[in-house]
Amino acid sequence: MTSATETDPALAQTDDSRRVSTLLGLLFGLAGMGSSSAAVTLALLGPDLGVDAGLAAWTISLYVLMLAVTTALYGRISDLVGVRAPLLAGLVLMSVGALVAALAPTFEVLLGARILQGAGAAAVPTLGVTILSARYSGEVRGLAFGRLAGVAAAISCLGPLIGGAVEAAFGWRAVMALPILGALVVPLLWRALPTGGSGARLDVVGAVLVALTAAGMVLLVQSPSAGLVVAAIGAGLLVLGVPAVRASVRRRPDGFLPIEVVRNATVVRSAVSASAVPASWFAMLIALPAVLLAEGWEAWQVGLAMLPSAVVALMVPRVAGPMLNRGGPARALATAAVIASVALLVATAGAHWVSAPVLVVAIILVTFAFGLGQPALSAVVGDAVHHEVRGVALGVSTLLFLIGGSVGSAVVAGLSGPVGMPGALLVLAVLPLLGLAVLAPTLRPAPA
């Protein structure tokens, strides 16, 4: 007897996309949980390893730094050799880094392990959307993008709850080891991972220049909470890196950063606009726990407060997919920006009145915006470039997306002291509106 999926190729593709996108979302979520779950351990690992809270926070900052700066590298490598090898290498680095972090005898070893872990975890966001872009098309791809983002956001939202529970039962070292679970997903995805690439050689000089310039951008936006030395290093890398990258692109137009990607206005505008959405989301992931913990809440109670947003994240794909197909990814991206701005305004009120219900509504809204904005960005960038440079285009857009997250966390950490948490969130509420202004030209209908 023949099954329905064997006789209907479209249905078979839909069934396969559900499994593959869910598994990729699980990987993406575990990578994100390396930050959200570890955040609840800072108060405990600091005294255990003999450092204060400010230094302990670098276990998060360095992880996010490496997660951001190496995304474009994985994207370009996937263009050259396919997805399987770089994804496997990234997951090995992530797992080894997590294991060393769990066993770290000193704070210095812990920081080195977190750098390694972040460099490995960076493979997941870029290569996940690359796999879906290459494997699916049309309505199926839109649903797959939405499902990946929804599952990833749900797991990241559960990070504080899972981290709090694991820490209470086994200690902070067990929390650091959680990303090792990603290795269990690889065998289930193995056959879906493309191996073909262009076969060209990697432009190593171009890769190093882009990575250092990206590091400068991330350090600079994190400097309000990290100090003048970090700001000086970030500014120096950025000032030297930007002209060096431009010269590298002129020297090798088909090198690490292809000129086809750099000059693609749709890619650049969409990525810059979309970066405001993770800025809002990461800001809320910091702001909600900060406000509630200051009121005497326990870490596990904060995790429970974020549970509704995890449920919403799982439901977003049912809405995101149809929106991408009906109105197009650019309009979906604009919608996500508006919702993110509204979410931050609601969060401003919640922080001002110290109202847990209002803050929960705000993080639900921003989770919806993230679950819509991330797949919309992947779709618009994937459609805007040739398949031979799709990996690096998605890598660059993901880089800007993650830098947006760094901006959100930096603004909350840097401004909440002098102007208060409500003031910091109110400042951030402007960013999605600025993103809309950048995106506006791509929303205009093409001339007849």
Correct CATH for 10-440 of 3.40.50.2300, 3.90.1300.10, 1.20.1250.20, 1.20.1440.230 = 1.20.1250.20
Residue 447 has pLDDT above 60, yes or no: no
At which residue do the structure tokens 């005497």 appear?
Answer: 296
Per-residue model confidence as pLDDT tens digits over 55-85: 777 787 778 778 877 887 888 888 888 888 8
pLDDT confidence of residue 2: 41
Residue 198 has pLDDT above 90, yes or no: no
Average pLDDT, stretch 242-271? 87
One-letter amino acid of 161 = L
Average pLDDT, stretch 414-434? 86
Averaging pLDDT over each range in 8-12, 51-55, 188-192, which range is the top one? 188-192
| Residue 37 or residue 352, greater confidence | 352
> Among residues 302, 373, 315, which one has the least CA distance to residue 159?
302
Which pTM was predicted? 0.79
Residue 87 has pLDDT above 70, yes or no: yes
pLDDT confidence of residue 226: 65
Mean pLDDT of the chain: 83
Averaging pLDDT over each range in 36-40, 355-359, 440-444, which range is the top one? 355-359
Residue 93 has pLDDT above 80, yes or no: yes
First to last CA, the chain: 52
pLDDT confidence of residue 11: 43
Per-residue model confidence as pLDDT tens digits over 276-292: 898 888 788 778 877 88
Three-class DSSP category at 200: coil
Per-residue model confidence as pLDDT tens digits over 6-36: 444 444 454 588 889 999 999 888 887 777 7
pLDDT confidence of residue 360: 94
377-67-182 Cα angle (round to 5): 90
- Our separate counts of H helices and E strands in the chain read 23, 0
pLDDT confidence of residue 399: 74
**CB of 427 closer than 8 Å to CB of 407:** no
Per-residue model confidence as pLDDT tens digits over 155-185: 888 887 888 788 888 888 998 998 888 888 8
How many whole angstroms from its chain centre is CA 193? 21
Residue 413 has pLDDT above 70, yes or no: no
H/E segment holding residue 105: none
Average pLDDT, stretch 98-119? 92
**CB of 144 closer than 8 Å to CB of 17:** yes
Pairwise CA distance, residues 375 & 377, whole Å: 5
pLDDT confidence of residue 348: 96
Per-residue model confidence as pLDDT tens digits over 359-398: 999 999 999 998 899 888 888 888 888 877 777 788 778 7
pLDDT confidence of residue 15: 58
- Six-digit token string for 115: 């750098």
Largest CA distance in the chain: 70
Residue 406 has pLDDT above 80, yes or no: no
Q: Worst-scoring range by mean pLDDT, 3-17, 226-240, 246-260, 408-422?
A: 3-17
Query: H helices within 192-328, ranges in order?
Result: 204-226, 228-251, 259-262, 265-274, 276-294, 299-305, 307-327
pLDDT-derived band at 252, boundaries 50, 70, 90:
confident
CB-count burial class (<10 Å; 0-12, 13-18, 19+) for 10: exposed
Q: Domain ranges for the chain, please list them.
A: 10-440
| Residue 442 or residue 337, greater confidence | 337
